[in-house]
Amino acid sequence: MTDISRLRDSFLTLQSSSSSLSTKLQCMNNLITMHTTSIEHWSELNTKVDTFAIALGEMLATQSTSLRTAALRVIRTYASVPNFLPVLFKLRLDVFISRCLERGKDLESDRAEALNVIRAILQHASELVPRGIINTLVALAEQADDACHAVGLSILCEAAVRRPELISLCGGIRTIVQSASRVRKALQETVVITILYLFNDISSRKYLRSSGAELRTALSPLTDIHEIEGVYKEKVWMTTRTALVTMMRSWAGLICLTSDDLCLRAMVNVLRLSNVELVDIVLDAFFLTLRVNIPISGADPFRSMKNTNDGAEEAVDARPDLPSRHKRHDLLDNFTAAVCLALIHCGLPEALIYLGHEMRTATTTNVTALEERKFHIATKATVLLGEILSLSNSLLPPSVCARLQTLPILVNHATSMELDPRFRSRASSMVSHLHQYSHIKETSQCQEEYHTSLLVTGANKWRRVKGVDRRLDRLDDVKMKIEYKMDEGTLKAKLVETNVLATKDHTRWNWELISDLVEGPLTNPQLLTLTLKSTKFLKRILSFLRPSRKEFSGMSRDKCNMKYVRIGCQALETLTQSELGTSFLRDNALVAQIGDYLQQETRTTDTDKKKAAERLFSSEKVLKTMAREYFTMLGTLSSSERGLDVLRKHKIFEMLAPLSSMQGRDDLSHLIMTSLDYNITGPSRILLSKSLTSTSRVVRYLATRHLRVLLRSGVNGFPEWGIKLLVRQLADADTKVTTQALTVLDEAADDMECLEALIGRAPNLLDMGPGGQALMIRFLARSSGFTLLNASHFLQDEMKEWREHKYREYPGLVERSLREKFSSYVWTRNAEESKSVHLPVHFYGELASTREGAALLVGSGHFRDFVAILKEESLSSLERRAAVWTVGHVGRSETGVKLLQQEKLIPYVIQLAESCTCFSLRGACFFALGLIARTPLGRIDLEHGGWLSPSDPFLGIATPEMPADGSAIKFFQIPSYTYTDSWAKLSIAAASSSSIKMDNPIHNEILSHVVDLSNHITRDGAMKKLKVLRTKSPQHFQSLDLCLNSLRLLEVYKFRLPSRRFIHSLFYDMIYWRGEDLQRIASILV
């Protein structure tokens, strides 16, 4: 028998009245098991949908739990069958679904399957969802102690997105809003995002009150301190804080909160309250909103951390990865600028100044816990104010910074002699702390900038970071000049003072003085010559480093011993700066002995573990001892021509080559490639090239990754030889290697010289997936790349695909990336990745970067199409957002912005950003205006429209001008709209339902009491009267008409879940109807 035949028999058996219940259960299980085949061949089964639905209704009306749950599973499985759900609702079988959902704890299987059915209905036919089901969901979502509360609330949120009008009619929006601050953390983000979705567009916003009452309700636990009492008060505050942060991380939330004075401004004013716990929680919310680390209690954030790196106590491989040399456009900077503007507009700096004054009351002795917490709050307020000043200085226009940075209120308090001296002292302390914190921020930024030019080999790894502290930089320069001109007598005295000439015991040497001499006076060729000819100073230092003595090489590799390798590298650098020093080093046994031990490692065939462990460069010793630092010294020598001559004399590279490809010694391969210097053309680059083609997959991957380090360090000639090696790696057999090479090439394309070199090699990237296509699109930014791609079919094919669908997919790609960065439930492998959202490549933006591409864009007519889409208000928000992104990318280049000026698009985008009714479209305009601000012509037009840019134009940020009189900013204003109230419709429906009259007066009395159950004031009395009636006259509760009319009231009035269960318990004997009774349901429940 075929599957079709078995399915046909199952349908017939299920619909037959003579079949037993167990047979029908087996038939339903067969239908579920074979549902894929059944749906695909539905027309061949010759099954009527209405007959099928009636048969399922009979199963839902039985007393058997297994039959009901099986019927629910069949409904969920076959929800996609054409006309199945409409027939189901026409027969009013949704009554049984609601009843299954309202059952007690002893029937959780019914409830779980009913929830799955409702979710399937929303997915396949959300426009058909009956009010009765939504009323049940609302009652379930309001019952916080119910086991299915969380699932019911999540489905209610989904229904609100699909059917906001119906949810509003049933009072579900109020339920969702009230749960935002009281729901569990795992579900809170879903609830808040649902609220923000409803606020986003006018089509759903009209069901929310225009005064912003919904957001005020959601945040009321923080603004109404008398609303929450008891032990759960702080827990509710923390939950509400999370809701506030989530709202502030979306355009809809940011605009709505800022536009209403009782929302964001009220949150700011909470900082002026006397409730310490509440103030602390709200203050943390602003830290989280700006993505700033919250200061740890007890730590002093105003004390500068000494990070001079002049002791080499930090291991080389403990350094963080180098940042990219070219900063890409970061959308988080744009959004942070908007958040800063909103917070400044709502008076957060003034509130922080007030908080810093009022809370700084702790003394040095007898400090209570409350005073200590107040002091910490004052410290946090100062830190947050410093962060806002720092962010505004880099992200906001100079006009805003000039007004903010002066801090007139704080400075007036610190300088006024008319104020209380204690108050003036607090203000002065806050100014001092702000200055110290600003210095610390500047120091850390200088250190990050230093890493971009850091050479990855040589003694520079241990020298103090230049640019971090200007005072120390000047002192170092003066000291260097003085020591360079040191007289011979002073030098000899200092050499004696080091104790190197007196003893060979390195533990008695003054290593810091040795370091000062090696980097100071010995850099003078005359003093170096004197030292080499008349003393054994350098000879003893190099003798200490020799492997044969096992003093240095036998030391454990820890921070304390890193000073020896630092000074050793400094000595090698100093010696190779002169011909005499190079000759001395060439004849010294240090490099020769290193070569001998390297050769021993290459020739070893001994498998005895004990003897293998005795080798200098065995795996264990390379891991645990200073023996590995000999490769660092070799790398120091490879950074100069004279050093390379020394290495060639002792044939070091001939010994490193087999080590870099030795089987089972990937650690040596990685150590060699990361230690050598590649600024000079020669054997180092040849050795790296061999590592890239090693038989070891791990070595090839590590070598490819090291090319990114070399790119970021700015190694000489990388566009010529580095790009060549990366292109070659694209053909590697291992996908991890090719993916890594493609990632490095994508980063290298930020540099125009590297991009031109890559275009010149014309690599075939089409087989590399989306990443390869995106990299090829970046070729269009150069005329040579346009010529290359125009000669193939890639340009025409890609233009066609972008016009058809890819431009429409772009907003979702960007918004998904932003959502992932803002969400607290998305895990990121690298902490640095969570700090930025880089713009994906946009085809039309790259195409418009050259004259040839701009001409093609205009000639194709695509640009005119996007202009028309942007201005057509009847189109969907997604279409218009896609057009806005296209216009913004076109306008980020000099050639593209001229196209925008010809169409007068910049004023239109500004108008759209300030008055559009869709907040997501308004946010897309904000990002697009930032792209346009990258060009001088664009900034001029933006300034005419009241949008200004920060001092650094490459950030790509444009913000609306802040009115000097403190009036509202247009970007944060909500256009007025008419609130579509659902209560009027509900009242009409309730009035028609309350007019239900039955022939029996007792039935009318029962219905009246059922209506009273919907009111919490009359509920208890009505419940008692109904219990009495059921006890005295149980026969009346056997009426099918009375039962159905009561169910009809459940669809109109809003009942709590216990009341709904009580109503069902009154008609317990009528819950399970006979098959013939099902025909009467639809006629009564209209």
Mean confidence (pLDDT) of the chain: 85
Contact 55, 93 (CB under 8 A): no
> How far is residue 401's CA from residue 395's CA, in Å, rounded to a whole number?
9
* Helices 131-142 + 172-179 axis angle, to 10: 20
The angle formed by the CA atoms of residues 124, 127 and 133, to the nearest 5 degrees, is 90
Q: 1063: exposed, middle or buried (C-beta count within 10 Å: 0-12, 13-18, 19+)? A: buried
- Cα-Cα end-to-end distance for the chain: 44
pLDDT per residue over 547-578, tens digit each? 998 899 999 988 888 889 989 999 999 999 99
Inform me whether the pLDDT recorded for 450 exceeds 50: no
Inform me whether the pLDDT recorded for 606 exceeds 80: no
pLDDT per residue over 1043-1073, tens digit each? 888 888 888 888 999 999 898 888 865 555 5
Q: 310: exposed, middle or buried (C-beta count within 10 Å: 0-12, 13-18, 19+)? A: middle
Instruction: Please tell me the predicted confidence (pLDDT) of residue 231.
Output: 56
Instruction: Please report, for residues 293, 334, 652, 821, 941, the alpha-carbon distance to residue 331 in angstroms, rounded to integers and kept in the order given.
Output: 20, 5, 49, 11, 22
| Contacts of residue 858, Cβ cutoff 8 Å, sequence gap at least 6 | 864, 899
In the structure encoding, which two tokens stand for residue 306, read together?
Answer: 């000494």
Distance of CA 456 to the CA centre of its chain: 30
Instruction: Please tell me the predicted confidence (pLDDT) of residue 338.
Output: 96
Inform me whether the pLDDT recorded for 357 exceeds 90: no
Instruction: Please tell me the predicted confidence (pLDDT) of residue 771.
Output: 93
Instruction: Please tell me the predicted confidence (pLDDT) of residue 16.
Output: 84
The angle formed by the CA atoms of residues 443, 449 and 454, to the nearest 5 degrees, is 120
Reported as a pLDDT band with limits 50, 70 and 90, residue 134 is very high
pLDDT per residue over 925-979, tens digit each? 999 999 999 999 999 999 999 999 998 888 899 999 988 887 889 999 988 888 8
In the structure encoding, which two tokens stand for residue 890, read together?
Answer: 């076109």
> Strand 947-948 relative to strand 959-960: parallel, antiparallel, unpaired?
antiparallel
Please give the torsion angle defined by the CA atoms of residues 57, 60, 64 and 65, in that order, rounded to the nearest 10 degrees: 150
**Which pairs with CB-CB distance under 8 Å and at least 24 residues apart come from 39-47?**
39/78, 39/80, 39/81, 41/4, 41/7, 42/81, 42/82, 44/4, 45/4, 45/7, 45/8, 45/11, 46/8, 47/8, 47/11
Q: Which residues are paired to 838 by β-bridges?
A: 330
Contact 910, 930 (CB under 8 A): no
Instruction: Please tell me the predicted confidence (pLDDT) of residue 496.
Output: 93
Instruction: Spell out a b/e string for 469-504, using b for 16 or more CB atoms within 10 Å of the CB, else e.
Output: beeeeeebeeeeeebeebeeeebbebbeebebeeee
DSSP string, 273-285: SS-HHHHHHHHHH
147: number of Cβ within 10 Å: 12
Reported as a pLDDT band with limits 50, 70 and 90, residue 57 is confident
In the structure encoding, which two tokens stand for residue 441, read together?
Answer: 């921020």
Mean pLDDT of 202-219: 85
Q: For 769-778, 905-914, 958-967, 973-982, which range has the lowest pLDDT when averaged over its residues?
A: 973-982
φ and ψ of 360, to 5 deg: -85, 75
Inform me whether the pLDDT recorded for 983 exceeds 60: no
> How far is residue 680's CA from residue 636's CA, in Å, rounded to a whole number?
12
Instruction: Please tell me the predicted confidence (pLDDT) of residue 321.
Output: 62
1008: number of Cβ within 10 Å: 13
Mean pLDDT of 404-424: 76
Q: For 120-129, 194-203, 400-409, 512-521, which range has the lowest pLDDT when averaged over its residues?
A: 400-409
> How far is residue 10's CA from residue 26's CA, in Å, rounded to a whole number?
9
Mean pLDDT of 340-363: 84
Instruction: Spell out a b/e string for 865-904, using b for 16 or more CB atoms within 10 Å of the CB, else e.
Output: ebbebbeeeeeebebbbbbbbbbbbbbbbbbbbbbbbeee
Inform me whether the pLDDT recorded for 469 exceeds 60: no
Give Rg (Cα) of the chain.
38
Inform me whether the pLDDT recorded for 443 exceeds 70: no
Q: For 55-59, 288-292, 438-442, 809-813, which range has the lowest pLDDT when averaged over its residues?
A: 438-442
Q: 215: exposed, middle or buried (C-beta count within 10 Å: 0-12, 13-18, 19+)? A: buried
pTM equals 0.88
Contact 765, 753 (CB under 8 A): no
More confident residue, 434 or 829: 434
pLDDT per residue over 4-50, tens digit each? 888 888 888 888 878 888 898 899 888 888 888 888 777 777 778 88
Instruction: Please tell me the predicted confidence (pLDDT) of residue 455.
Output: 41
- With tokens 């009782």, the residue in question is 262
pLDDT per residue over 253-283, tens digit each? 999 999 988 889 999 999 998 888 999 999 9
Q: Which residues are paired to 625 by β-bridges?
A: 556
Inform me whether the pLDDT recorded for 311 exceeds 50: no
Q: For 110-119, 176-185, 229-238, which range has the lowest pLDDT when averaged over its residues?
A: 229-238
- With tokens 């004997």, the residue in question is 1069
Q: For 134-148, 618-632, 677-691, 824-838, which range has the lowest pLDDT when averaged over its residues?
A: 824-838
**Percent of the chain at pLDDT above 70?**
87
> How far is residue 361's CA from residue 213's CA, in Å, rounded to a whole number?
37
> How far is residue 452's CA from residue 753's CA, in Å, rounded to a whole number?
17
The runs of H, that is alpha helices, within 694-734 are 697-713, 723-729
Q: 347: exposed, middle or buried (C-beta count within 10 Å: 0-12, 13-18, 19+)? A: middle
The runs of H, that is alpha helices, within 396-460 are 398-405, 408-415, 421-452
φ and ψ of 979, to 5 deg: -75, 125
In the structure encoding, which two tokens stand for residue 628, read together?
Answer: 């590995």
The runs of H, that is alpha helices, within 839-982 are 843-847, 851-860, 862-871, 877-890, 894-903, 905-915, 919-932, 936-944
Instruction: Please tell me the predicted confidence (pLDDT) of residue 232.
Output: 66
Residue 511 one-letter amino acid: W
Reported as a pLDDT band with limits 50, 70 and 90, residue 447 is very low
| Contacts of residue 1050, Cβ cutoff 8 Å, sequence gap at least 6 | 98, 132, 135, 1060, 1063
Contact 656, 687 (CB under 8 A): yes
Instruction: Please tell me the predicted confidence (pLDDT) of residue 337.
Output: 95
Mean pLDDT of 408-431: 77
Contact 962, 345 (CB under 8 A): yes
Reported as a pLDDT band with limits 50, 70 and 90, residue 343 is very high
φ and ψ of 948, to 5 deg: -115, 160
In the structure encoding, which two tokens stand for residue 691, read together?
Answer: 């590592």
Inform me whether the pLDDT recorded for 402 exceeds 80: yes
Q: 303: exposed, middle or buried (C-beta count within 10 Å: 0-12, 13-18, 19+)? A: exposed
Locate the DSSP E strands across 288-366.
none
In the structure encoding, which two tokens stand for residue 175, read together?
Answer: 């339920």
Instruction: Please tell me the predicted confidence (pLDDT) of residue 285.
Output: 94
